[in-house]
Amino acid sequence: MIAIGSDHGGFELKEYIKKHLDEQGIAYKDFGTNCADSCDYPVYAEAVSRAVVSGEMEKGILVCGTGIGVSIAANKIKGVRAALCGDCYSAEFTRLHNDANVLALGARVVGSGLAVKIVDTFLSTEFMGGHHTHRIEMIAEIEERERA
């Protein structure tokens, strides 16, 4: 199951992505926001990220105006590898090489048609493993040192 969340700036695109996921038969849980009223993106980034790290959700999708805020906030959660993607190539390679578990999108940066293509690419691409696994382990070690 996919966790999805947004702030007010990403609300409309999040709703569009949810409709697309419904059409594809992909299960998701919406962590908010539930309207376009001004709100704080870290709340939703944290909720989606914690659901992914706990194993409750397989992957996460976060949307704000630029995608930058939600990606920064998400990456503060230990175990999250959030990637801001504005194209399908980045979405593919962040899964192949970085095993990213949260996708961040900018609603004011990418159109809805491109956004769903990025989502599809992110969700359908598997981690390559191999020598990339060592690099993911190195990232986790950095995370551990920073929290010590």
Active site residues: 64, 97
d(C-alpha 114, C-alpha 118), whole Å = 6
Q: How far is CA 148 from the centre of its chain?
A: 26
Q: How far is CA 146 from the centre of its chain?
A: 22
Q: Decide: 138 and 81 in contact? Cβ < 8 Å.
A: no
Which helix (H) or strand (E) segment holds residue 18: the answer is: helix 11-24
What 3 state SS string does 35-78 have?
CCCCCCHHHHHHHHHHHHHHCCCCEEEEEECCCHHHHHHHCCCC
